[in-house]
């Protein structure tokens, strides 16, 4: 049965060097997540394109460590996003097989919302 967690988070994104290739950028991406999921994350993001012109994309992987619905463990999230004149398209999913501890076997989709610079999430997930 799918369950839903929601809450807010802060994110700290910092450039990393060296860049992987001409035209690409690399960043650390670390979050403090609050709400139904209380966790920290550590990850890396690669991006390309021209965000100032509204056309870009990124991929990222981050490890989430904390407590979800009273269960402690970790899991990885995989991001894939693009933006162009038609808007933002983003998918963030739990990496299959990445759950540890009491979160072993977790699956789901993490939806990020940004409103007036504030980040929040809805996390639809299943546990065995």
Q: Are strands 37-50 and 24-35 parallel, antiparallel or unpaired?
A: antiparallel
Q: What is the pLDDT of residue 122?
A: 98
Q: What is the pLDDT of residue 73?
A: 98
β-strand partners of 47: 25, 58
β-strand partners of 115: 118
Read off the DSSP letter of residue 100: -
Mean pLDDT to the nearest integer, 23-34 = 96
Encode pLDDT of 67-94 as tens digits.
999 999 999 999 999 999 999 999 999 9
What is the domain partition of the chain in residue ranges?
3-126
pTM above the 0.85 mark?
yes
Q: Which architecture characterizes domain 3-126 according to CATH? A: Beta Barrel (2.40)
What is the b/e burial string over 49-64, where b = at least 16 CB atoms within 10 angstroms of the residue's CB?
A: beeeeeebbbebebbb
| pLDDT above 90 for 20 | no
Mean pLDDT to the nearest integer, 28-34 = 98
Q: What is the mean pLDDT of the chain?
A: 96
**pLDDT band at 9; cut points 50, 70, 90:** very high
**pLDDT band at 17; cut points 50, 70, 90:** very high
Encode pLDDT of 88-124 as tens digits.
999 999 999 999 999 999 999 999 999 999 999 999 9
Torsion sign (Cα): 6, 67, 69, 72: positive
| pLDDT above 90 for 52 | no
Q: What is the pLDDT of residue 51?
A: 83
Alpha carbons 38 and 18: distance in angstroms, whole number: 32
Burial of 14 from C-beta contacts in 10 A (0-12 / 13-18 / 19+): exposed
Residues 6+ positions from 84 with CB-CB distance below 8 Å: 54, 55
């Amino acid at each position: 049965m799918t369950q839903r967690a929601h809450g807010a988070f802060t994110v700290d994104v910092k450039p990393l060097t060296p860049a992987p290739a001409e035209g690409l950028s690399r960043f650390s991406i670390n979050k403090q997540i609050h709400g139904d999921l209380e966790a920290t994350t550590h990850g890396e993001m690669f991006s390309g394109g021209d965000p100032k012109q509204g056309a870009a994309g990124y991929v990222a992987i981050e490890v989430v460590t904390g407590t979800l619905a009273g269960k402690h463990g970790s899991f990885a999230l995989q991001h894939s996003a693009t933006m162009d004149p038609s808007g933002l398209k983003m998918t963030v999913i739990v990496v299959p097989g990445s759950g540890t501890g009491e979160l072993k076997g977790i699956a789901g989709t993490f939806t990020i919302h940004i409103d007036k610079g504030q980040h929040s999430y809805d996390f639809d997930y299943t546990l065995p």
